[in-house]
Structure 1
């Protein structure tokens, strides 16, 4: 059986699809699993042991359409559309897959052989698992996930970190989706200084987009800060995360990588809901707002004050980090 899965376009969503892909491999004997994805997520799917081949979409919407048409000759038995977009369902129809499963969104039902209702109040991981129902795969538990991280990457990570200076706490101050997801910059500064006083080495993580922000945070914290912002590939980031005693993060793709790798973490939520996109396994503490306007799911705070994030104090986050680190020691 040949299966083509259209990957989500966001890093966090793609990570949350890992259990679905693993369950397909475990339940369908002799299956060949291929992932159709944007290039920036190729390294992520390379670490999934159940994936047999990665098909990279090189370009925009027209390129995806052309790519799907070229795959008609490959006779896929099944196509699963993880994105809810019309284009993702169209790609499955164009590639000629016999069966096509996806959620009934954006008036695309006619492109799918199995259009399913989108569950509205369910964590994203379990939303995706609903797509297994037409295959009679009943999910009683989340499968163990064992990402493949080469030893050479682990050695490189240790070289970047200098293990003699640990233990390490990673701070991830950014969020690609928007500023409403971000705990205030000055709070990360104060937290970093407090962590140094408690004997930790601070590691700053983020994309090139957060380089200036993280540079300011680094300069304020002072010594014992290793700024790796924008300096790692996706696989290198994963290897670095495995060396962390704890990850302090907003609701981001990096948070979900931490969950996947079972890195102890403190996740800070304001504009989004941990019930829908929070950590879904592992040792973690979630801190979220109690304000009636939270979660608003906006890129920018509608009220302009980011109060939902500001009410989560540095002292709360530091306490959570110390609890997680101490629990890991025992």
Structure 2
């Protein structure tokens, strides 16, 4: 085992994927305990990485997702040569994502083959989807030798460390009051969203039981958050924080929850990594690929002939895979737990 083995990770651009990548980071630290792990990823991922103890440094990736940016990628790669990394692991499957480690002259460049990345990657792996059905398995496999690429690896679930909430958004609940966090958004598209009316019914039932209700999400979820607030009678016990928190604040607030209910989303994976009691509602996507990686999570998905369709919007217009999951079902799961 090498005494020093410094690794540059080219990170993913989605919240949930970055959370699941922590299992890879943990596997690398186990294999190279004296090594350092840096992650090159979009600036918005910095609060996530700051709460992962395996990471030495988060390096901001200025080239936005989907942009080729040959000149910028070359400049970044040249600027990283002085760090003398021993290895780079490229998590995105695109050709352009493998350019920076190549420009940086990192001697071992590991990743799954995709878009003909021979040369850019000199430690390429051919993916066997049947052997590695979970995304987290595909990430963690890259910590091990290529000869083991067809073997499903053992992995530790992501475990994020939250910080104390010091923001003005640190809403106060009474000492014996439980806190329900609702995560109604989904960046993928509206098909993944449990209806706002159902979230409101759930919030109403729990507020009647004395719970405080926090609604978490991005600016794009603000309107949905207001719909949920409108459906809850006790407005003093509900706070819509959609679009009002930075990612780091959202992480730390979710860590204060007694129960989280979420669509299949990045915040779902964050709640799982914080080991919070979680109900994850699935419709057009499948937990067979990207489930919440926590023993504290319960999955809800009903059998619908057309599900999972993996479409951003319901192609049939009825959205039954989500509409037919009743708020009563979720309420009973919480109150009888």
**Fold equivalence (TM over 0.5):** yes
1:19 aligns to what SS in structure 2? Answer: helix
Residue pair 1:207, 1:230 contacting (<8 A) in 2 also: yes
Residue pair 1:5, 1:34 contacting (<8 A) in 2 also: yes
* RMSD of aligned Cα (Å): 2.1
Does residue 199 (structure 1) correspond to residue 210 (structure 2)? The answer is: yes
Gaps of 5+ in 1: none
Does residue 305 (structure 1) correspond to residue 318 (structure 2)? The answer is: yes
Does residue 126 (structure 1) correspond to residue 137 (structure 2)? The answer is: yes
Equivalent residues in 2 for 1:178-189 (5 A)? 178-189=189-200
Residue pair 1:266, 1:285 contacting (<8 A) in 2 also: yes
The alignment's TM-score, normalised by the length of structure 1, stands at 0.91
Cα distance per residue 1:117-165 (max 9 Å; x no partner): 2243511111211112227899864337553333xx3354894233447
Aligned residues: 322
Equivalent residues in 2 for 1:1-330 (5 A)? 1-60=5-64, 61-62=68-69, 63-121=72-130, 122-134=133-145, 141-143=154-156, 146-150=159-163, 153-156=164-167, 159-164=170-175, 166-223=177-234, 224-323=237-336, 326=337
The alignment's TM-score, normalised by the length of structure 2, stands at 0.89
Residue pair 2:95, 2:117 contacting (<8 A) in 1 also: yes
Q: Distance in 1 between matches of 2:176 and 2:251?
A: 20
1:17 aligns to what SS in structure 2? Answer: helix
Q: Distance in 1 between matches of 2:73 and 2:325?
A: 42
Q: Distance in 1 between matches of 2:168 and 2:260?
A: 15
Cα distance per residue 1:91-119 (max 9 Å; x no partner): 22122110111111122233211211224
- Richer in helix (by share): 1
Q: Distance in 2 between matches of 1:148 and 1:257?
A: 10
Residue pair 2:16, 2:266 contacting (<8 A) in 1 also: yes
Residue pair 1:114, 1:134 contacting (<8 A) in 2 also: no
Gaps of 5+ in 2: none
Residue pair 2:23, 2:158 contacting (<8 A) in 1 also: yes
